[in-house]
Structure 1
């Protein structure tokens, strides 16, 4: 590898809007403020919900629910 071509990669502090703080490395070089992290994101916390806007899930099940069922 060539010398002196790689960017500086310091340790930076990351603060989430939920208050969680951790350290990582980044070429950004300054402290980061983020909106979601693994402690508050619904996918990782198990609080994710499927939104049924206007009964679309039921409408799909009504139209295509019979496919794949054996008589």
Structure 2
């Protein structure tokens, strides 16, 4: 038999609130639960997830190990364009 007066109050219809809007109800020991992210607005669940490469690490890895097909070809063209003006100045 559980002891009396040691358990917290149980709220079977506790409201989960995100951005001032009730998004669901659940059982909890607090009457309201305020959250910033839930499955309805999280990028993983909504399909709006993006991979951010702010420092170019993926591109640097691809160049370093010779992977990347189109990216490595465009990098070679850029390098050739950079060398072309130097050669033109030397011949002039």
Q: Give me the TM-score of the superposition, normalised by structure 2.
A: 0.55
In structure 1, stretches of 5+ residues that fail to align are: 67-71
SS in 2 for 1:53: coil
More helix by share: 2
Stretch of structure 1 that moved more, 36-45 or 7-16: 7-16
**RMSD value, Cα:** 2.3
Query: Displaced runs of 4+ in structure 1, greater than 3 A?
Result: 5-9
**Closer, same or farther: CA 20–37 of 1 in aligned 2, 3 Å:** farther
Q: CA deviation at 1:62?
A: 2.1
Q: Which has the larger radius of gyration?
A: 2
In structure 2, stretches of 5+ residues that fail to align are: 68-92
Equivalent residue, structure 2, for 1:41: 42
Equivalent-residue separation in structure 2 for 1:18 and 1:55 (angstroms): 38
Equivalent-residue separation in structure 2 for 1:62 and 1:38 (angstroms): 37
Stretch of structure 1 that moved more, 53-62 or 42-51: 53-62
Stretch of structure 1 that moved more, 46-55 or 7-16: 7-16
Equivalent-residue separation in structure 1 for 2:8 and 2:53 (angstroms): 46
